């Protein structure tokens, strides 16, 4: 790994700090009170697969991402958004614990195959500086060996502090709380939604004009 390339990659988001909050409407900005600086935004378009041919659009989830505190986590999240195949687009919210979390990171089922996770490379939990102290926190679902893939969950209640020091928060929902509520209320079999909740499109935005040309292999050290 070239140290200069890594430094360049990690420094790019910092150039956006002074303009990030300007890209938010007042009703979005209020959800970031007391939070770190925002370096990127991500947006998921959510649909409910009601039948093989019918997909109902539920709305969009927009997240502010905290690359100033967890740059490696955010970089990995963005690369999964960019992946046209086996990335977040056309993946599903595969687990809903009503009133607690909505968890994503599995591909849509194809024919007879079982659900499979999106493509990922494991990396260590970066830090636990940001708390689960408000609804709409987005965190990575770590495994027992304290590493992350790219399965994520969104906290639904006002506070889920029991997740602190276990899961890495890397962003905050700023738009789409009504959509999150619809996801929370969807019928489930155990914790599995009966109808597939699909991320039909995933995009990320850099709030500055700086081109985000990232080498994610360098960031993760892979």
Residue 17's pLDDT is: 44
Would you state the structure tokens that stand for residue 37, as one six-digit string? 């600086």
d(CA 40, CA 13): 8
pLDDT band at residue 52 under the 50/70/90 scheme: confident
21 phi and psi angles, rounded to 5 deg: -65, -20
pLDDT of residue 149 exceeding 90: no
**Superfamily for the 34-52+59-199 domain:** Cyclophilin-like (2.40.100.10)
Question: How wide is the angle at C-alpha 69 spanned by C-alphas 66 and 71, nearest 5°?
Answer: 75
pLDDT of residue 207 exceeding 90: no
pLDDT of residue 221 exceeding 70: no
CA–CA distance from 18 to each of 8, 14, 180, 209, 215 (Å)? 18, 8, 29, 12, 23
d(CA 21, CA 18): 7
Residue 210's pLDDT is: 36
pTM, to two decimals: 0.80
Q: Sketch the domain layout of the chain as residue ranges.
A: 34-52+59-199
- Tens digit of each residue's pLDDT (9 = 90 or more) over 59-107: 999 999 999 999 999 998 998 898 888 889 989 999 999 999 999 988 7
């Amino acid at each position: 790994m070239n140290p200069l390339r890594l430094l360049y990659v990690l420094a790019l988001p910092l150039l956006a700090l002074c303009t990030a909050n300007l890209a938010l409407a007042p009703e979005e900005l209020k959800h970031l009170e007391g939070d770190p600086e925002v370096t990127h935004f991500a947006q998921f378009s959510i649909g409910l697969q009601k039948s093989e041919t019918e997909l109902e659009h539920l709305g969009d989830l927009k997240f502010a991402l905290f690359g100033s505190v967890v740059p490696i986590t955010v970089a990995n999240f963005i690369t999964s958004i960019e992946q046209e195949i086996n990335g977040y687009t056309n993946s599903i919210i595969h687990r809903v614990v009503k009133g607690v979390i909505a968890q994503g990171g599995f591909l849509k089922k194809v024919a007879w195959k079982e659900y499979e996770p999106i493509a990922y490379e494991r990396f260590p939990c970066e830090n636990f500086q940001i708390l689960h102290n408000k609804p709409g926190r987005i965190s990575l679902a770590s495994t027992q060996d304290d590493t992350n893939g790219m399965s994520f969950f969104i906290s639904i209640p006002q506070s889920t502090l029991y997740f602190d020091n276990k899961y890495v928060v890397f962003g905050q929902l700023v738009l789409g709380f009504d959509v999150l509520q619809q996801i929370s209320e969807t019928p489930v079999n155990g914790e599995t939604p009966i109808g597939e909740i699909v991320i039909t499109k995933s995009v990320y935005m850099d709030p500055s004009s700086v081109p985000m040309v990232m080498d994610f292999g360098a960031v993760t050290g892979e």
